[in-house]
Amino acid sequence: MHDVVLTILPLLFGSFLAILAGWTRSALVYPLGVVALALSTGFCVKLLLGVLSTGTATYLLGGWSPPWGIVFVIDTFSAGMMLLISGSALLTYLAFRAEIIEGFAEKTAAFVALLLLTVAGHMGIVATGDLFNLYVLIEVAALSGYALLGYGSGRAPLASLNYLCVGSVGASLYLLGVGYLYILTGTLNMADLAQIMLAAPVTASLHGAVAVILFGLWVKMALFPFHGWLPGAYAMSSPVAAALLAPLTTKVMVYVVIRLLIGVIPGAAIPEALPDVAMLLGTAAIFAGSLMAYRQIDQRRMIAYILVAEVGYMVGGMFIGNRTAMTGAMLHIFADALMTLTLFLALGSIARQRGEMVLANMRGLFRTMPFTMAAFVLGAMSMIGVPPLFGFFSKWYLLSGALESGQYLFMVGLLVSSLVNVVLFFRIFETAFFDEPGESVRDIEHWSRVTPLAVAAVLLIVAGLSSGLIVDRLIAGIIPASLI
Amino acid sequence: MKKTALLAVILTGALLILSMENFPSWGDVQSPASLHLSRHFIEKSYEQTLTPNLVTAVLGDYRGFDTMLETVVVFTAALACFLVIRLPRDVCTPGLFYYRHTRTGLVVRKHDACELPGENPTFERVDSDWPPHDVVVVSTCRMVIPFIQLFGLYVVAHGHYSPGGGFQGGVIFAASYVLLAVSHDLRTLVHRLNERVTHLLSAAGVLLFFGVGLFGMAMGLNFLDYGALEGVLGMSLASGHSLGILLVEIGVGMTVTAALVIIFKLLSSRGTVTEGL
Amino acid sequence: MYSIYSIQPFLAVAAPLAAVPGILSSRSPNIREAWSFAAALLLLGLVACMVPAVVAGHTYTWVVANVLPGAPIAFRVDAFGMLFALVASSLWVVTTLYSIGYMRSKNEHAQTRFFGYFAVSIFCAVGVAFSANLLTMYLFYELLSFSTYPLVAHHQNEESRKAGRKYLGFIVGTSIGLVLPAMVAVHHFMGTLDFAAGGIPLGAIDPTTMTVLLCLLLFGFAKAALMPVHVWLPAAMVAPTPVSSLLHAVAVVKVGAFCIMRVVTDVFGVETLSALHLNDVVTGAAAVTMLAASLIALSQDGLKRRLAFSTIGQLSYIVLGAGLVTAAGLTGGMLHIAMHAFGKITLFFCAGAIYVATGEKYISRLNGIGYRMPWTMTAFLIGSLSIIGIPPTGGFLSKWYLLNGCIDTGQWLLALTLLASSLLNAAYFLPIVYRAWFCTPDQAQHAGPMREAPLACIVPPLITATITVILFFYPYPFLNLARLAAN
Amino acid sequence: MIWEIKLLALILVIVCAIAAINAKDLLSAAVIFGIYSFMMCVQWLAMGAVDVAFTEAAIGAGISTALMLAAIFRTSRRTKD
Amino acid sequence: MEDFLTQLTSKYNFWAYIVLMMVGLYAMIAKGNLIKKLIGLSIFQTAIMLFYVAIGSKAGATIPILRDHTLKGVIDFVEYINPLPHVLMLTAIVVSVATLGVALALVLRVYDVHQTLEEDEILEKIKNP
């Protein structure tokens, strides 16, 4: 009965306890985080199974029924998202054990607490059924994210500050849009709002409200041309924070937009020009992201730019306006999160051995770190879109959907970005394969780092092979029948 | 750059103004915003929570989860500041120590820290970059601060009946400490409320909130359902809710106080938490 | 004729893959190569087990995962797939033997990696052979591209880096850029990618789109090396010889040709293509490639490069057979997959043996080598005869069927092209044989008594040469399968 | 409250906002920002939002300004625009 | 004109929020000083709060604290201002101060690294260290 909320409570509780433990028994901090994340993941699995068998689960927080109180609403898709978030956070947390314990000294407790809070925030964003609660959760997730990304030497604080400014404006715009909707409908609950909006007259203000909300969320998800903060934030920060947040932040925002589009905002309320603008921006994001990625020297920055392109994939997919493309966008959330996780985990392991992530530092990696590189190759192949890895199938749906609606430019964008990804990743592979590692290089692969990475990489294959199942059980039931 | 910015801003503004076309006019009693949810809150909340201040009732009870997260945000901000700017302890020892002769106001500089006798000090330690010291300010603040803190407590406790609540009270309480730091020096504040205490207090505040929520779950109700307090001390359902709000507000107050003090300490001492504004 | 739902195809495909952990974890070379052999024999056995049922006209199917609507990852063994799998698996055994000899005597580095990826490549090739739909085929096609990259770039020097780049650039670029959108489009129009569906019915897609799709798929499967996407093939010759033989005789290029054959027969459908006269596109591209490649081959001095251009030309025979869309033509094309494989692998083995024994790579330096390496050069002669198409070698049969196919449909121009190309084949192979036996050695090391390459390098070409001859007299498993598939 | 006064307060808010972002000295910018927050608080009081006004007075005009001053004290007052 | 004036008077609070918001946004985009940017951000956020509070207002209603005489009887919703926007804005204010705190912390770190708060100077220093 409490499964819905129990997915998030361990994280919150864990973060409070981590602070208490940090000032009393600091050895307990790291295990506490493991327990919290593992509990959360466990409850997510339970929740997913429950939702699969009994349908959408609703939880009334404070016992007040909607629309007066705040509710959590979990359907199959969001249950999958919850599992994705907590699972990927758990893997990251386990993989970076050494960094978390050693790298932060007396700040470990604060770091662990913030990490748990940001995961809780992201999960809450997925779960909540209340527009304003969503805003608060966005801020919980973002604020702790700023801190995690801002911790570091050199340019990390500046990048994070940049992110903070852009992110706050995005969240504020979202808040403004919610205010518009509230003044027009008088409610904040999503289900209630959907009901009222169906009957509400379609006016310029309604269009304005929807446009402002979507605009704000686009800013938050780093859609081109609002992507400026993303590469810096992920490339400058500590590898832990990057590996934790890169798979989550943009994807969760994409999830929010999808949820609003398919569950709350009726088609008539979307301004007519908006889908076209979105397609334009999405396509532009793909081209610009690929181009910029090609020009990067730092490999983390390069992958961050690929993320910009991937956001373009998803935004394009959801605004194409047919069922196939929407399925593709939703599937790509999972796919992109998993492959980003794999890549960043692998890069984190490599960075620990080799320092700065420039191409020259990746010599001979295939020989010295074979398992890490194998996982990296899988992640890269998935980004390129090689079957049977997960990335191929979401790309397939997107291509197919674009073809259905005659969005040929978007199709070209998808293919070009795949090809650019081939070039980008094979640059790395070539260096790692052909060049000899330097004399002084002594790479160590420890099982505790390789295991989470291997799990993530194997998941790419497993999820790819079961993508039909994922679409059938998790996604197909969520897309309204009216979307053809 | 500036011109483009101006143009973009004006364009956005114009679009936003256009989009207000269909808003109900300002102060319209029959606008949807005043009818749907808010009508229910105004008419039912006293009956359900026994709290005349509607804002407190909605904030603490109907939207209690929001409030909890909001507290978590403040808690997060404190941790974030700690993570970002707190310097490692071994770096925090200053190279020079300044001592002031209390009678004459002369300042002495030393390379090592001195043991200062606790009773009747002839010398006191001062910050390296905040030497002025005014008796009037110090004495006034010393007198005012207790009253400010008392007022803060009042605001927390009286939130049910008048404007106020955990946030406002907590902020006022924190402000009193800021005043202490400004009028004396940061070391005095750190001496009263050291880092460990503030961190534990901030965690304890959210934990109190959380605990009220968990109590609801333990009694077989939903998370944060204050109805679980019904029967505790022989309370009715509505006064259980009222009590729940009070407990929660206390938790909020604790966290907000502690968190703001943490942030202020860190910012004003640039992460050393020894000397500062 | 019925379909058997059985895990056998899956087991057969997975057999080489199962050996990979064994190969990688082996401590000593002997154990490692024992794994390779075991897997090769196991694969051959598993494939052979299915032969009787397939020859009888049945098919095996096995669904691995339902990934996309109308396009699961699934295996299906039919006559054509069986033909290719039989070629690939039987040649793997021989190639393994040869690799052991070659790699050990050249003292190559990273042999474990070599054998590991070798097994993966065969896994992919068999996967392509047994695919039940275009998606599965694409899957294994892509995997094959990536898993052969470390083999092509085995030497890890600047030259192989460039070659690897070219190789991947062409193969992956075309498969993602051309095949993927075409596949999506076919799926969009038809709702399925299954080969069993028997092609696109006439009128389902308008002719212009059909033409575009056909071109995309024809040039997208760049492994078939139709001009102008053949550039990768000569470049990839920097690989060690066993790789070249695997790549250019068995796995890679044949996979490309196989894919095109599949596309023509099972995706578009023979009737539809001939009704729309789209087969002319296929035959046209094939004919041009055939002549151009043969002409270029004439001017090559590097032995392996000449063989490479010969391969490009020979692959077009297969594509031509597909484009003829008659029973005889298709039979000829499919049969040519087998015949050319045995013939060409013999030649590559010989080239490798020469290199192992003497270090020579250029034709102009092979004068008189026949006396030093008589066995090798005999095998070479038989292989060349087969490629040219002179009886009693298997190559004659496939060319015979192809010619028949041309004449059946009255395409005299194509028939002439075929004959001209055969003449050119003779023109670039026979001089080598002539030099070997009838020129006086101008290098001192070629003179003197017989000094052959190690036994492991000599036996495989002799085996394949023998098979080439046997196939002329007894071509039945392959011929039956090809006939079955063509009808 | 009389609407003229409300309007005046509103105009004052806007003036303070513009002044705060244009001040040539960060310290004065921060102080003007404090005044801005306080005027905003008066606005809200005029609209009957007592709780919000109270909070804004304590947080916006009080703690925010204090934090900003602390930060400026620890960095620099200089600004180019 | 008449229309416009009635529009203006009936919605002048909404107009004011837009002006403030644009002032804040302008500062965020055009100002190079990091603290100025943060002031802009705060103005931006308070503008939105002003908008929300304006939503809640009702002509002729009083503050949302129930008066004693109505506690026992029937409560008429017309008498009290809509409390919900106030609740939301309380949260938003706290969020904004939290954001400000974190932002200032980051500003301090930036200053530690680059010794300046001007964006163009920082970029200059990054380019030619």
DSSP secondary structure, chain B, as one string: -HHHHHHHHHHHHHHHHHTTTTSPPTT-TTSHHHHHHHHHHHHHHHHHH--SBHHHHIIIIITHHHHHHHHHHHHHHHHHHHHHHPPPGGG-S-S-EEEEETTT--EEEESS-----SSS-SEEEE-TT-----HHHHHHHHHHHHHHHHHHHHHHHGGGTSS--HHHHHHHHHHHHHHHHHHS-HHHHHHHS-HHHHHHHHHHHHHHHHHHHHHHHHTTS-TT-GGGGTTGGG--HHHHHHHHHHHHHHHHHHHHHHHHHHHHHHHHTTT-SSS--
Instruction: Give the rounded distance of the alpha carbon of B184 from its chain centre.
Output: 21
User: Which chain A residues touch C146 with a CB distance below 8 Å?
Assistant: 381, 386
Mean pLDDT of C322-328: 86
The mean pLDDT value for E98-106 works out to: 95
Integer Cα distance of C221 and C172 in angstroms: 9
Are D70 and B268 in contact (CB < 8 Å)? Answer: yes
Domain positions in chain E are 2-127
Give the residue ranges of chain A where pLDDT is below 70: none
What is the average per-residue pLDDT within D27-44?
A: 92
Residue E106: pLDDT band with limits 50, 70, 90: very high
Asked whether the predicted pLDDT for residue C326 surpasses 80, the reply is yes
Cis before residue C392, ω within 30 degrees of 0? Answer: yes
Percent of chain D clearing pLDDT 90 (strictly above): 56
User: What does the pLDDT look like over B80-132, one tens digit per residue?
Assistant: 999 998 888 777 666 677 777 777 777 777 777 666 666 566 777 777 665 56
C259 closest CA partner among C343, C342, C142: C142
- Window 35-54 of D, Cβ < 8 Å to E: 36-37, 40, 43-44, 47-52
Q: Is A187 helix (H, G, I), strand (E, B) or coil?
A: coil
| Chains D and C touch each other (3 or more Cβ pairs < 8 A) | no
Q: Which residues of B touch D48 (CB under 8 A)?
A: none
B218-235 tens-digit pLDDT: 888 899 888 888 877 778
pLDDT per residue over D11-25, tens digit each?
899 999 999 999 989
User: Which residues have CB under 8 Å from C120's CB, separation 6+?
Assistant: C16, C17, C20, C143, C147
* Chain E residues closer than 8 Å to B163 by CB: 63, 65
Compute the distance between CA of residue C468 and CA of residue C475 in angstroms, rounded to an integer: 9
Ranges of residues in chain B whose predicted pLDDT is under 70: 92-95, 113-121, 128-133, 276-277
Mean pLDDT of C415-444: 86
Taking domain E2-127, whether its CATH number is 1.10.287.3510 is answered by yes
Q: How far is E86 from chain B (nearest CA, A)?
A: 7
Using alpha carbons, list the distances in angstroms from residue B272 to A304, A374, B195.
Answer: 34, 44, 11
CA distance C298 to C431: 10
The pLDDT assigned to C478 comes to 87
In this structure, are residues A286 and A416 in contact, taking their beta carbons and an 8 Å threshold?
yes
**Per-residue pLDDT for E1 more than 60?**
no
CA distance C45 to B112: 86
Lowest mean pLDDT among A376-385, C73-82, C236-245: C236-245
Instruction: Tell me whether C238 touches chain A (CB under 8 Å).
Output: no
**Mean pLDDT of all residues in C469-486:** 88
Q: Do C192 and C151 touch, CB atoms closer than 8 A?
A: no
Minimal Cα–Cα distance from E12 to chain B, Å? 8
Q: What is the C-alpha to C-alpha distance for residues E72 and E62, in angstroms, rounded to an integer? A: 18
C147 CB contacts (<8 Å, ≥6 apart)? C117, C120, C121, C124
Q: Choosing among E52, E93, E112, which should be mutated to test the D contact, i.e. which has the most D CBs within 10 A?
A: E93
pLDDT of amino acid E14: 77
Q: Where exactly are the structural domains of chain D?
A: 3-74
- Please tell me the distance from the alpha carbon of residue A390 to that of residue A381, in angstroms, as a whole number: 9
Task: Tell which residue, C243, C240, C220, C250, has the closest CA to residue C314.
Answer: C250
Q: Which of E52, E55, E102 lies closest to A146 in CB terms?
A: E102
C204 pLDDT band (50/70/90 cuts)?
confident
C364-380 tens-digit pLDDT? 888 888 888 888 899 99
Q: Is C131 helix (H, G, I), strand (E, B) or coil?
A: strand
- Residue B185 — φ and ψ, nearest 5°? -155, 175
Is there an interface between C and B (3+ Cβ pairs < 8 A)?
no
Residues in B touching A196 (Cβ below 8 Å): 32, 36
Do E13 and B17 contact (CB within 8 A), yes or no? Answer: no
Give pLDDT, residue B119. 59
What is the model's pLDDT at position E9?
63
Tokens describing residue C344:
């060409």
- Lowest-pLDDT choice from A168-182, A276-290, C123-137, C240-254: C240-254
Burial D19-57 (b: 16+ CB within 10 A, else e): ebbebeebbebbbbbbbbbbbbbbbbbbbbbbbbbbbbb
Q: What residue ranges do the domains of chain A occupy?
A: 1-127, 152-269, 273-484
Give the model's pLDDT for residue B17: 83
Given this model, what pLDDT does residue A142 score? 94
Structural contact between residues E36 and D21, judged by C-beta atoms closer than 8 angstroms:
yes
What are the Cα distances from residue C320, in Å, to A250, C326, D33? 51, 11, 81
Q: What is the pLDDT of residue B212?
A: 92
SS3 category, C67: strand
Q: How far is D58 from chain E (nearest CA, A)?
A: 10
User: Which has more confidence, A354 or C447?
Assistant: A354
Q: Which chain E residue shows the shortest CA-CA distance from A138?
A: E95
What is the structure's pLDDT at B79? 94
